Chain A
Amino acid sequence: MKNILLSIQNLQTHFFLDEGVVRAVNGVNLEIPLGETMSIVGESGCGKSVTAFSILQLIASPGRIVSGEIVFHRPNSDNVVLTNHKERDKRIRAIRGSEIAMIFQEPMSSLSPVHTVGNQIMESLILHTNLGKTEARLQVIDMMQRVGIPNPVQRFNQYPHQMSGGLRQRAIIAMALICRPKLLIADEPTTALDVTIQAQILQLMRDLQTEFEMSILLITHDLGVVAEMANQVAVMYMGKIVEQAEINELLTNPQHPYTQALLESVPRRGQQPKAKLKVISGSVPNPFEQITGCPFHPRCEEFSDGLCNQGDPPVPFQFRDNQHVACFIREKDKTQ
């Protein structure tokens, strides 16, 4: 049995708007193993980012974690039930940014334009440790060097606008890693970057993961990035995990019709040129809508009337050793 660093049980995060309730995360169960990369993939609006923000208790009104439990199993220390703490609790503030850190998508908007990059990286170090300024500065410069920022001593005093997108993203990674977190949550860390820079940043994240022995929760819409990075993948659709599997299993042998369609709709090299791409008909449903039965059934090719559109949504069942699928049809085939 693997050691689990973080477990999420039946998480429900809903947003209460005037127009109705958006069930952004609607019953997610997930375990992040120690030292591995778990990835959540899905299209926009499926609830992948809200899951990440729920871990850090950063859900602002009108959103609320309605139910569920998120437990942080700290190595060599006591467990913390994150969901028992409010956004501003001392306990959670001590963990956020030090033991659990986060990288955001936009490298420009997650840095302050009026503070130097070095001071911004140093801030969390000063906040979470008792280090003095001189000592902290040395550690920051050391970290900047490790994430591949050239001339860290000069760069320390520069402002974000003086850096390129790739360097800024490196600075953000330095900021996240400066307190040696056990869990790094990376929300679309390379989406705003060019492919050659993306490849550099992904390589950097893998190297640092081995060096610091941390777990990564990688949130992305890009199945290619997932294939590069993840050990485990969870596919989300409308606030639920529809399939979870070991990466190679998922890529070579996807089971849920949504996962299958998602993988087939990506254009690839070496495909029949100009062949038609497989599409998922329709679009992601209105978030206020409550679909009976399987949330994917209105778009599913294998839809079977009477089975898929009845009662409660399907619960993930074990399809293979390391593969769980939430699909009525697969479950029926399996039991027969």
Chain B
Amino acid sequence: MNKEPLLQVKNLKKHFPVKRGFFNQVVGQIRAVDGISFDLHQGECLGLVGESGSGKTTVGRTILRALSPTDGQVLFRSDDQSYDLATATEDTLRPLRKHMQMIFQDPYSSLNPRMTVFDIIGEPLLVNGVSDRSEREQRVQELIIQVGLKPEHIRRYPHAFSGGQRQRIGIARALALHPKLIVADEPVSALDVSVQAQVLNLLQELQSTFQLTYLFIAHDLNVVGHISDRIAVMYAGKLVELGTTDELFRQPKHPYTEALLAAVPVPEPRKSRNRALLSGEVADPANLPSGCVFHPRCPYVEDRCKTEVPKFREIATGHLARCHLAE
């Protein structure tokens, strides 16, 4: 961990303009991602949790430059050189792209129904210069075995596979070019529990075999906690807490994390039904509250929370929270 981080995100922002009227005048900004910073080390898995609309998917997509950031830096280390992905030109990006891959949520819409498994997994190879068909075929065979499917499956089309198997194909495609960083956006949320466990186990095995670095985006805290070394909690475009999985679960410092942990239903006999429920709904990123973005829902709200924006500060070693009251 003393090495330089693989990925450094500094004050990343992505705003979307809101346009109205005949002349498409910009009448406001949706601040989907509003100043996010974190480091990601080689071989680590960082979980990014948040509710819908919190901006977690936008973070993933902006890091990979599927979207261009509004502001901020994304420093990516490759071959002992550091590149700022946020401002890099397409020409600089192209050779870097093979080091970063994405696994998508919906295994049904992320695979082209008209391509065979061989074409789907082989395409990134073809694009990156593996033009010899037999070489490609050999590599696809290897990949398909690594993700737990059978070599004879590569001539089939996606419709012949179940949801879990399709997700394995998506994973094989992401692995094809030996990436360093994988952004997994809700990779198991569309799957049934028993299949979800299979895919989570597979992701963990692959991580240790290939020394992969994951940014694991999900809304399910239990799933994220299972696979991540550290967890970042997002609310209305900002990180509100970042810490090791263990600490964050045992001693959440931000009231939102605390509420999120309390809200997750656990399959265990219930002890008491009385617990703190969060009132209200997720903040609207087009119209953010003043001061601390969480203050309208916070049970511990004080006067200064309504006006002063809290800083993202270190409460304990490696454990950061954005709350005036955290200690």
Contacts and interface: CB of A to CB of B under 8 A. Distances in A.
Nearest to A247: B269
Contacts of A274: 204, 226-227
Contact of B51 (A194, A261, A273): A194
Contacts, number: 123
B55 to A, nearest CB: 14
Contacts of B195: 43, 283
A120 B278 CA distance: 28
Nearest to A150: B280
Nearest to B224: A267
A262 B193 contact: yes
B194 A224 contact: no
Contact of A43 (B165, B194, B267): B194
Given A206-B273, A221-B193, A227 B198 contact: no
A126 interface: no
A252 B196 contact: no
Given A227-B266, A267-B223, A271-B226, A278 B164 contact: no
Contact of A195 (B196, B225, B264): B264
Nearest to A276: B201
A196 interface: yes
Contacts of A276: 201, 204
A206 B272 CA distance: 13
Contact of B222 (A165, A166, A199, A266): A266
A42 B227 CA distance: 24
Interface in B146-179: 162, 164-165
B219 A194 contact: yes
B268 A279 contact: no
A320 B221 CA distance: 35
Contact of A284 (B192, B219, B226, B260): B192
B115 interface: no
B323 to A, nearest CB: 17
Given A195-B263, A269-B225, A252 B162 contact: no
A307 interface: no
Contacts of A166: 281
B62 interface: no
Measured as residues with beta carbon below 8 angstroms from the partner, the interface class of chain B is: 35 or more
B249 interface: yes
A223 B193 contact: yes
Interface string A263-287: 1011111110110111110011000
A322 to B, nearest CB: 14
Contacts of A43: 192-195
B301 interface: no
A197 interface: yes
A231 to B, nearest CB: 11
A277 B198 CA distance: 8
B222 A268 contact: yes
Contacts of B262: 199
A164 interface: yes
Contact of B200 (A197, A263, A267, A268): A267
B246 interface: yes
A165 B51 CA distance: 12
B277 to A, nearest CB: 5
B129 interface: no
A32 interface: no
B270 interface: yes
Contacts of B298: none
B129 to A, nearest CB: 36
Contacts of A44: 192
Nearest to B267: A223
Interface string A250-262: 0110000000011
Interface in B237-291: 245-246, 249, 259-270, 273, 277-279, 281-282
Contacts of A271: 226
26 contacts: A43-B194, A164-B281, A167-B281, A195-B221, A198-B263, A199-B262, A200-B279, A223-B193, A224-B265, A227-B269, A228-B273, A247-B269, A251-B267, A265-B193, A266-B197, A266-B267, A267-B226, A269-B221, A269-B266, A271-B226, A273-B246, A274-B226, A277-B197, A277-B226, A279-B201, A283-B162
10 smallest CB-CB distances across A and B, nearest first, come from: A224-B265, A267-B226, A223-B267, A265-B197, A194-B51, A280-B194, A277-B197, A43-B192, A199-B263, A248-B269
